[in-house]
Amino acid sequence: MTLDELDFIEDEEDERVLEEYRQKRLQEMKQQAAKEIFGDVRDISAVDYVEQVNNAGPGVWVVLHLFKSGIPLCTMINNYLYSLSQKFPAVKFLRSISDTCIAGYPDRNLPTLFVYYEGQLKHKLIGPEAFGNLNFKADELEWMLAEMGVLKTDLECNPRKQVEDVLMSSLRGSFLGNDDW
């Protein structure tokens, strides 16, 4: 074969490989788009629970927030969940007023997050202690859900750990630099 013929065959092979890659990538994007059907936080009641949580479907993660109006940490987490729902539309984010969903649910357990996969309870975060009270940030919730396997985050490290490291280093520095102890 001549050099031109070899170049032509090589070009055809490159085009074939690129076309295969395009088709594969297009299929992956279609599959991902089919999963990304939520993108919001939906309100449910006890009546909706089985349909929305237990029957959410195969491969679906559900994050249910039990809350009550007037509790600042609940309001904060509702806002965080709204942002996360838009960033991770393949995850089904739900919320319910606590005593509407579970009669007599104690306010001391609020906020509460229940995390389900394919209708099975996998994780639960109950009460303000689980979230770090009002110091809790949206990135921390994203990180926690990523550690549970609910979503794939682009955060590179645990944001709570960074705050703890800064706090501990400042405490160590103040103890080491103080001769009055």
Which pLDDT score is estimated for 30?
66
Percent of the chain with pLDDT over 90: 52
Strands laid side by side in the 41-43 sheet? 41-43, 92-97, 61-67, 112-117, 120-126
- Judge if pTM exceeds 0.75: no
pLDDT, residue 165, reads 53
Q: Report CA-CA distances (Å) from 82 to 10, 42, 76, 85, 124.
A: 50, 9, 10, 5, 19
Three-state secondary-structure class, residue 131: coil
Residues ≥6 apart with Cβ < 8 Å to 8: none
Q: CA geometry: angle at 40 spanning 35 and 42, to 5°?
A: 110
CA distance 159 to 155: 8
- If you average pLDDT over residues 11-18, what whole number do you get? 79
What's the confidence (pLDDT) of residue 96? 96
161 band by pLDDT with thresholds 50, 70 and 90: low
Provide the token pair at 52: 């929305």
| pLDDT for res 32 | 63
Render pLDDT for 110-125 as a digit per residue (tens, 0 to 9): 999 999 999 999 999 9
